[in-house]
A and B are shown apart, each in its own frame.
Chain A
Amino acid sequence: MKVKSKLIDEPGFNRIITRIAHEILEQNKGSKNLVLMGMRTRGEFLAKRLFLKIKEIEKIELPIGVLDVTLYRDDFRTRLKQPEVSVSDITFNINDKDIILADDVLYTGRTVRSALNAIMDLGRPSTIQLFVLIDRGHRELPIRADYVGKNIPTSVDEEIKVKMTEIDSEDAIYLIDTKED
């Protein structure tokens, strides 16, 4: 495990959030019907950042929730380690809303698939729009993101490490080599 390169630093991180917030508002013609939903763990903080940015731009506080998709995963029978579950925290009605679903890295698309199922069990939103900080390719399902921070083509031996000050020491994104040498 070694760091190959730092892809994004703190100012870059902030610029992405600013741009995405504007893109979301432009795409949805304002913020009227929007709700934010972050996927544990880092998606939760990304949603919070978007919340603050949109508040700054539009002077409005959007409903914000946290989604835990562990119970909807498709790898219970194949994984060796039992995943830890935690609680979803969505206190508002999502029917007929436009949901902005936030996650840090889009890879195989399986987590997003679980999230879609989890959301459908909570209600029937008007649209679900996906925001990811990094799209690293290698999709296994027909899933795409609506808002992408940065496209980083990777190999399967590489890993993307997103750090956020809410739980890490800095805002940054690293490309990591997982190959043993």
Chain B
Amino acid sequence: MPLTSRHLLGLQGVPKEDIQLILDTATTFREVLERPIKRVPTLQGKTIVNLFYENSTRTRISFELAEKRLSADSVNFAVSASSVSKGESFKDTMRNIEAMKVDMVVVRHSTAGAPLFLTKICDANVINAGDGIHEHPTQALLDMYSIREKLMKLEGLKVCIVGDISHSRVALSNIYGLKTMGAEVSVCGPLTMIPRFIEELGVKVIYDIDEAIQENDVLNVLRIQLERKAREYFPSIREYAKYFGITEERLEKNGKDILILHPGPINRGVELSSGVADGLNQIILRQVTNGVAVRMAVLYLLGTLN
């Protein structure tokens, strides 16, 4: 059964069957990644453009590798080295790229809704690799894949997203995806970083990190985005670390084996202590590997739709 949409713009409104299909398909590609020759010829002849209007290491490399491992031809576009710096508009840039006959576009942009806009001006399949503070669907999919791989299910699990919920596209995509898959989702962070009316998404709000650790099976700890002026929302980084940072002492005190995820890059000593970041119960690096498999699954499922 194919996906119900030819784009992946977010997880809001994506049916359970589609998420299930992506996660199941990713298992296949996980096996491909373990082979000596990590490449299959499936997307031979397809051209994919990676349109990154914002900096990224993990997501961009992950998409690039996923494309190469499916034998697609991929082109990278970095804004700093392009005609955008000469004043070309987003629409004109896209029209020109499309004229070069591309089949798929992976886009990251600081403006929410940029991927949706792309679907209206071009025919290619569009994949959102993060748009402003809106959504980052492939990150949430790989988070869900990693949780499912470790705990064998998603339904009925209690997952808490910790950190700056207001400015996090990872949080929003996780909330939509996890809720659809039947998990119980809560958020935890300083009052200033919890958006108003978040409860309307069916999410519980917790202000005490110890309570969050006690009540949940999984913590998805977000990065404090210092580049997005996160500092304006709490008195000091030290204070944030003291009240919301996950440390070995805190985990020990709560005496609980809890699964911890982090989308990276980690601010060591802020949201996670160095010891926890390096600890054995982390699946952070596993998440990165899974990210390639999940993105291969998304590219495969969209790229082979007729």
Contact = CB atoms under 8 A, between A and B. Distances in A.
Interface of A: 68, 70-72, 76-77, 79-89, 117, 121-123
Contact of B35 (A83, A117, A122): A122
Contacts of A71: 28, 32, 40-42, 300
Interface in B1-34: 1-2, 25, 27-28, 31-32
A79 B45 CA distance: 16
Nearest to A86: B28
Nearest to A68: B28
Contacts of B301: 82
B306 A122 contact: no
9 contacts: A71-B300, A72-B42, A82-B1, A84-B1, A85-B28, A88-B31, A117-B41, A121-B40, A122-B37
A79 B305 CA distance: 9
Interface of B: 1-2, 25, 27-28, 31-32, 35-37, 39-42, 45, 300-301, 304-306
A87 B31 contact: yes
Contacts of A70: 28
Contacts of B2: 81-82
Contacts of A87: 27-28, 31
Nearest to A71: B40
Which of B35, B39, B45 counts the most A-chain CB atoms under 10 A from its CB?
A: B35
B40 A80 contact: no
A72 B44 CA distance: 10
Contacts of A89: 31
B195 to A, nearest CB: 38
Nearest to A82: B2
Nearest to B304: A76
A79 B39 contact: no
Contacts of A121: 35-37, 39-40
Shortest Cβ-Cβ A-B pairs, 6 listed: A71-B40, A82-B2, A121-B37, A85-B28, A71-B42, A87-B31
Contacts of B41: 71-72, 117
A122 B45 CA distance: 23
B300 A85 contact: yes
Contacts of A88: 31
Nearest to B70: A71
A154 B243 CA distance: 75
A95 to B, nearest CB: 10
B40 A82 contact: no
A86 B24 CA distance: 8
A72 B31 CA distance: 14
Contacts of A122: 35-37
A87 B301 CA distance: 15
Contacts of A79: 306
